[in-house]
Amino acid sequence: GFMARDDMGLLHPSFCERTITSRATGIVCVFLSLAALAAHYHFFRLIRKEMESSSILLHLKEDKAQLLQKRKKLVPLRLEFLSAFALTILLAYNAIFVTAVEGPGSKVGNLYYSSWISFVMSML
């Protein structure tokens, strides 16, 4: 397999811990991404419902700027920023921890590239 074994055939402890950390990071990142998508969908529905009710109740007396102002109040930008920041920090830690000397991704390969590419993509 991809994990190094010592002379006795046992897994090297740093590979086990770092591999488990890498998998846990992946799971947390998937959870945060899905939570962000769910929140976006939920707030989009709230915004659309608010805009439709405002338009119907006021018989289109509100102008577009007022509706957009209501929309800005409903969008959770702080939550989105915090989750993006947490993902970036988590993926940076993962890339450094997994690809460090004697780590499971220390040799150039799939784990090495996926760790660094995911970190770089999180900063975009």
Tokens of 82: 């915090």
Nearby residues of 50 by Cβ (< 8 Å), 6 or more positions away:
70, 71, 74
Alpha helix locations (H) across 1-124? 13-57, 64-74, 77-99, 110-122
Query: Model-level pTM?
Result: 0.66
Positions in the chain short of pLDDT 50: 1
3-class DSSP state of 11? strand
């109740």: which residue's tokens?
57
pLDDT tens for 19-29 read 888 889 989 99
pLDDT tens for 56-80 read 555 555 566 666 666 665 557 777 8
